Structure 1
Amino acid sequence: MVNYSKHNIVERISLAFLVIVLNIQSVFAQQVKLQSPNGKVVVGVYNGQATGNSGWYLTVSYYDQGKITEAVPRIDLGLVRSDQEFSKEMQFVKAGKPVLINEQYNAVHGKRSACNNTANEVILFFANQGKARINLIIRAYNDGFAFRYEFPEKIGTFQIKEELTAYTIPMKTLRWMEKWNPANEGYYAAMSGDKVKKQEWCYPALFMTSDSSCWFLLHEADLDRNYCGTKLSNSIDSSKYKLSFPDAGDGRGQGSRTPSITLPWRSPWRVGIMGSLQDVVASTLVDDVSAPSVIKNTDWIKPGLVSWNYWSDNHGTRDYKTVCAFADLAARMNWPYTLLDWEWDVMRNGGNVEDAAKYILSKGVKPLIWYNSGGDHTWVSSTPKDRMLTHENRVAEFTKLKKLGFAGIKVDFFESEKQDMIKYYLDILEDAAQFNLMVYFHGCIVPRGWARTYPNLMTYEAVRGAEWYNNGPDFTTAAPEHNCILPFTRNVVGAMDYTPVTFTNSQFPHITSCGHELALGVLFESGLQHLADRPEGYYSLPDAARSFLKQLPAAWDDTNLLSGFPGKDVVIARRKADAWFIGGINAESREKKNKISFDFLTPGVQYKLTLIADGSHDKELSTSYQVVDSASSIDLKLLRRGGFAACVYPLK
């Protein structure tokens, strides 16, 4: 076999020539290297004894167009278990035979319907000084890498006191990161060099190497009841992001911050999505590595658009007539759902929740309904509360909901990623599936791949979304840049309930154009897409824009990033069947010109393009029509903080 050093250019190879190097003559030289099927991602495993640190670590390099970039020069490995440590002085036992993971699956909703879980995998076997065993499972994907720990023994219950996984990132690497907060509702900040702050950070985190040749996004996936959620912390060393457990005070101090495990056990996957910026945005890697669906029949799971009364009237669901107006909106706009948000249990002014459900169903629309997650883990007293807390509570409530015709539930205010809360999330999903109820979470965890395992999980909040126009004046000026960061960060890893596409104002105003707002319906992916404006905001739109929103899908067959840079601008095309929808926005306070190429279209087919772009000012939309094909391109002008939306249908 060919032995490539980590500084050599690595040629593209197939699995038959997978690079596995093991020099057992010297402990200092022990190393394993694994390449992705296309040869672009290279994961190296090294023993650090030569550098005075006896721990094992990974490196991740990216090879493209004759150039190799050491994107992540070091990932420290190890766990501290309640009975012993698995980090330093680990003895390498053997490397398993490399295997090709090659799995195709279909997603019910998300950025792509036909997905591939394809990677080269190797398992490395280690033993600590006490002869206890630990395995490291490594995968190299065409669009990234993943690794996890495994305790293979069959007996034993322990606590994990600390995870020692830590990513060393060169200070000159540009990064976009969100300060840790339990609801995952902050802003992303761009930084590098001496501007890098030392603190705790949310997932996911985006990085661009200093030579701009490689982008990567750090996250975790396939989190289950056997662990807690983690976050990134560089509080000790600016250049080293160590995985840390939830804070003791999260969830009002309820639950243990350290997870308990029973052997045999596997950790969640530690995931890095890697490649070009287009590769990152299009990746389904977080779902790919996660467990397959436990729901056999998914025909009842129906993605769709939702009318939502909270943004325009924080007490809208308390008023029966308001609920009816939003049901009428959904029916008129051909949206399948409307949401009854908080205070539905005190509805008045002509009807109660049972009356509302009957009215909504009479319009050919299905109702969704909100719940406070309840319990001592949340300080929020909003009702109805505590109806999700136990299996018995849920069965009783879900039985009532099915009789009334409800299609799904929204559960809010979790405020913790401790192990007990992870169990609570999954218990809700499993019980809801027994009643054919769709679920979405608010005040919650960032996606961890659960939508593959439980496809009735339609979306999560875990984002500073349009609701924040109600919470203070800062979102008005921050939103344009924020909107141009989310497609490269938070929304990459799973559905995002931003509640977009608003043309009127809430408590604090917009400075984004109507073209910008219309584009968000395409740019932001969510299996249940809540369009948040009041009815007159949609009724007053030009015919083309209103028609666009009537046709807009909430689940996609393909996704392509056409252009963009975090915080500056972004253009994404998404396909449903043989039609494409395109959204593009400008974050900056100056006009921009953008050229859109249609080379993603099927060659030899002509399409009708309907383009809805900024007009002469930010409250005006301009619509144009033309025939395009895969050789076509168009020039666009985007207003400051502007945008556009388009749909492209094949000509019959």
Structure 2
Amino acid sequence: MIRLKILFLFICCTLLPQLLHSQQTVLVSPNKKISVALYNTNQNQLTGDWYLAISYTDSSRSTVVIPRIDLGLVTKTQDFSKRLTYIKHGKTLPVNESYTMLHGKRSACSNSGNEQVIFLKNNNNVRLNIIVRAYNDGVVFRYELPEKKGQAIVEDELTAYTIPADNKRWLEKWNPANEGLYTTMDNKSMQQGEWCYPALFSAANKSCWFLLHEADLNRNYCGSKLSNAAEPSKYKITFPNPADARGTGNSQPTVTLPFRSPWRAVIIGSLKDIVASTLIDDVSAPSTLKNTDWIKPGLVSWNYWSNNHGTKDYKTVIKFADLAAEMGWPYTLLDWEWDAMANGGNLEDATRYILSKGVKPLIWYNSGGNHTWVPATPKDRMLTHQNRVEEFTKLKKMGVAGVKIDFFESEKQDMIQYYIDILEDAAQYEMMVYFHGSLVPRGWSRTYPHFMTSEAVRGAEWYNNVPDFTMAAPEHNTILPFTRNVIGPMDYTPVTFTNSQYPHVTSYGHELALSVVFESGLQHMADRPEGYLDLPAAARRFLMEVPVAWDETRLIDGYPGKEIIIARRKGEKWYIGGISSEQKEKSKTLKLDFLKDNITYKLTLIADGEHDKDFKTTYTVVDKSSTLNVKLLRRGGFVACITPVE
């Protein structure tokens, strides 16, 4: 009997800790709705292949959002992909900080969640840590190599999201400029390939949605994309293609130790939660700037859409400067070919004229170098620190407020470093920056608040490029607020009433609404002057006053590819924009219960009129208990401005 007791105690002392360690480690969000758990494929063992699983619970049901997220890294000298040994997990610690955004969907932001660190080691006893956070609107995790010095070449990242086949998904085929259309898929229409960020999914039971992206990308890593080329249901983190940027740069990043990867981010919740989320900015590095008084979001007049060679013509430049002045917009853009400007003046003449009208010029540059095939000049002014210092010094003296830099062609590590070099040098000369032909945002608007926007979208410019965009645009426009524009500013260059090379099929109400539906710190109004100046007074006044930086954003109604109605607040005023992609007229009844209690508001509604090029404007008094009835034409839209009555 004594021997049996001794044997039992021995088993308890030796095996019980192992059994306890083999149990899943669970981290829960502050609101208890989201949980992320660590599992081992080798049950009841401390060594094996580890993965995360994410669950979501609303008021009525619980859903396993992503049943498996594979983990691991492979460097040139160490393998952290298989047979990792669990050491321990740290205490759950709160993350709680507040910060302010100068532009974006919300001004007062909060980075509030719970964090846990998981400590693993490989067969060589080299450590790999997984830092996991659970937020009320999602989950993020990142890898940490805690060695104190040295470098490592990361040959592969094993992160892979297993998505249930019955999930609906909205994905954009990978292209270096991130300018494709989203494809809607279900289990019957599944496609395999490489995909851009962000990627949107809907749980089969419709209990929640989730959006995959990455955040806090810095010069110590490359950008990535998703690929399900190997397995249809598994979306693996994939490094840039070697052929990108004309074959320049390395696809595999060289990291400096100690190393932390970008956050792998999953935004989770209802569609309202997805649209309102600031998670990508929340988890990114705080601002590097002490003085931000010079950073001024605003509307911009832009001549390229109506005249591809507009900046080559001094008289055209003057017309768009006059347009900005008359509309009260703070900026006008001097796009490509400004170095060949003629017909009455050159660059210096143009900037003097623009400034004399109380408008500030922005100016375009080719990113240059062997990474781009585009020969447009100037092509070398941004390439080196010395060149940038010389150019920014000149631009500052000329009164230029910001630069648009184009054609980056890849997300390899050397290109990420180039982006950040530009941002850091531009800040020294108080120069706002936006990128075209570029990566989608990764939280840089928080770290570098003078990073105002990036293209990385198939925008209105494509009315110049292909006839296909005419019929694709209405549906595309209703997908972007749930995907691309969720994760950062988007330079779509919207609000065009006249036609470019290829025509619109959207109504005037739809186009006007894009000024609210789409968010960008510099919002480029792309139409020719008469497109705005010939509008009815109410619509023209709306475009003179609509903000581009918001204090609050709320989704009122919508579904990707069908419609979206979004409300944004600036100060005490609310602006609503709504668009439809459907081929039939429809009526919507909107609750205004987001308004404050016991306050009366004046509401101006500018909606579709009798036909596509007609507006109907109505004025009424509303409060929190009111409803708003709106009729939308096919592919139609509307805006509303709601102002407290003094």
Query: Which residue of structure 1 aligns with residue 203 of structure 2?
Result: 209
Q: CA deviation at 1:596?
A: 1.1
Structure 1 counterpart of 2:552, which letter?
D
Does 2:122 match 1:119? Answer: no
Decide which of 394, 402, 407 is 1:408's aligned counterpart: 402
Query: Which residue of structure 2 aligns with residue 620 of structure 1?
Result: 614
Q: Tell me, what secondary structure is at the counterpart of 1:503?
A: coil
Deviation string 1:139-165 (CA, Å, 9 cap, x unpaired) is: 000000000000111022110000000
Decide which of 569, 585, 602 is 2:563's aligned counterpart: 569
- For residues 628 and 549 of structure 1, what CA distance do their matches in structure 2 show? 22
Query: Which residue of structure 2 aligns with residue 192 of structure 1?
Result: 186
Q: CA deviation at 1:30?
A: 2.8
- For residues 89 and 70 of structure 1, what CA distance do their matches in structure 2 show? 25
- For residues 188 and 603 of structure 1, what CA distance do their matches in structure 2 show? 40
Deviation string 1:481-520 (CA, Å, 9 cap, x unpaired) is: 0000000000000000000000000000000000000000
Query: Which residue of structure 2 aligns with residue 15 of structure 1?
Result: none
- For residues 20 and 477 of structure 2, what CA distance do their matches in structure 1 show? 49
Structure 1 counterpart of 2:202, which letter?
M
Q: CA deviation at 1:28?
A: 8.6
Does 2:13 match 1:25? Answer: no
Decide which of 625, 645, 650 is 2:639's aligned counterpart: 645
Deviation string 1:197-216 (CA, Å, 9 cap, x unpaired) is: 11000000000001110100
Q: Tell me, what secondary structure is at the counterpart of 1:297?
A: coil
Decide which of 48, 51, 57 is 1:57's aligned counterpart: 51
How many residues align structurally? Answer: 631
Query: Do the aligned partners of 1:171 and 1:194 also contact (CA within 8 Å) in 2?
Result: no
- For residues 628 and 548 of structure 2, what CA distance do their matches in structure 1 show? 26
Q: CA deviation at 1:27?
A: 8.0
Query: Which residue of structure 2 aligns with residue 7 of structure 1?
Result: none
Query: Which residue of structure 1 aligns with residue 283 of structure 2?
Result: 289
Query: Which residue of structure 1 aligns with residue 4 of structure 2?
Result: none
Q: CA deviation at 1:546?
A: 0.4
**Unaligned 5+ runs, structure 2:** 1-14
Query: Which residue of structure 1 aligns with residue 486 of structure 2?
Result: 492
Does 2:368 match 1:374? Answer: yes
Mapping for residues 129-168 of structure 1, pairs under 5 Å: 129-168=123-162
Does 2:47 match 1:46? Answer: no
- For residues 499 and 317 of structure 2, what CA distance do their matches in structure 1 show? 19
- For residues 74 and 608 of structure 1, what CA distance do their matches in structure 2 show? 50
- For residues 71 and 639 of structure 1, what CA distance do their matches in structure 2 show? 37
Q: Tell me, what secondary structure is at the counterpart of 1:195?
A: coil
Structure 2 counterpart of 1:318, which letter?
K
Decide which of 299, 312, 322 is 1:318's aligned counterpart: 312
Q: Tell me, what secondary structure is at the counterpart of 1:274?
A: strand
**Unaligned 5+ runs, structure 1:** 1-21
Query: Which residue of structure 1 aligns with residue 298 of structure 2?
Result: 304
Decide which of 592, 595, 618 is 1:598's aligned counterpart: 592
Query: Do the aligned partners of 2:48 and 2:85 also contact (CA within 8 Å) in 1?
Result: no
Does 2:465 match 1:437? Answer: no
Q: CA deviation at 1:194?
A: 2.9
Decide which of 266, 277, 280 is 1:272's aligned counterpart: 266
Deviation string 1:267-315 (CA, Å, 9 cap, x unpaired) is: 0000000000000000000000000000111111000000000000000
Which of 346-355 and 153-162 deviates more?
A: 153-162
- For residues 435 and 23 of structure 2, what CA distance do their matches in structure 1 show? 45
Query: Do the aligned partners of 2:550 and 2:568 also contact (CA within 8 Å) in 1?
Result: yes
Q: Tell me, what secondary structure is at the counterpart of 2:188?
A: helix
Mapping for residues 182-581 of structure 1, pairs under 5 Å: 182-581=176-575
- For residues 574 and 319 of structure 2, what CA distance do their matches in structure 1 show? 31
Query: Do the aligned partners of 1:273 and 1:285 also contact (CA within 8 Å) in 2?
Result: yes
TM-score, normalised on structure 1? Answer: 0.96
Deviation string 1:406-438 (CA, Å, 9 cap, x unpaired) is: 000000000000000000000000000000000
Decide which of 3, 28, 37 is 1:35's aligned counterpart: 28
Query: Do the aligned partners of 2:313 and 2:342 also contact (CA within 8 Å) in 1?
Result: yes
- For residues 278 and 107 of structure 2, what CA distance do their matches in structure 1 show? 10
Q: Tell me, what secondary structure is at the counterpart of 1:626?
A: strand
Structure 2 counterpart of 1:124, which letter?
I
Q: CA deviation at 1:51?
A: 11
Q: Tell me, what secondary structure is at the counterpart of 2:42?
A: helix
Say if 1:623 and 1:157 are closer, same or farther in 2 by CA, change over 3 A. same
Query: Do the aligned partners of 1:614 and 1:620 also contact (CA within 8 Å) in 2?
Result: yes
Query: Do the aligned partners of 2:24 and 2:38 also contact (CA within 8 Å) in 1?
Result: yes
Query: Do the aligned partners of 1:28 and 1:49 also contact (CA within 8 Å) in 2?
Result: no
- For residues 317 and 640 of structure 1, what CA distance do their matches in structure 2 show? 36
Report which of the two structures shows the higher radius of gyration computed on alpha carbons.
2
Which of 26-35 and 306-315 deviates more?
A: 26-35
- For residues 190 and 55 of structure 1, what CA distance do their matches in structure 2 show? 33
**Percent of residue pairs bearing the same amino acid type:** 66
Mapping for residues 59-78 of structure 1, pairs under 5 Å: 59-78=53-72
Decide which of 550, 558, 576 is 1:582's aligned counterpart: 576
Q: CA deviation at 1:99?
A: 0.6
Deviation string 1:160-206 (CA, Å, 9 cap, x unpaired) is: 00000000000100000000000000000110113111100000000
- Computed over aligned residues only, the root mean square deviation of the Cα atoms, in angstroms, reads 1.2
Structure 1 counterpart of 2:71, which letter?
L
Deviation string 1:125-144 (CA, Å, 9 cap, x unpaired) is: 11111000010000000000
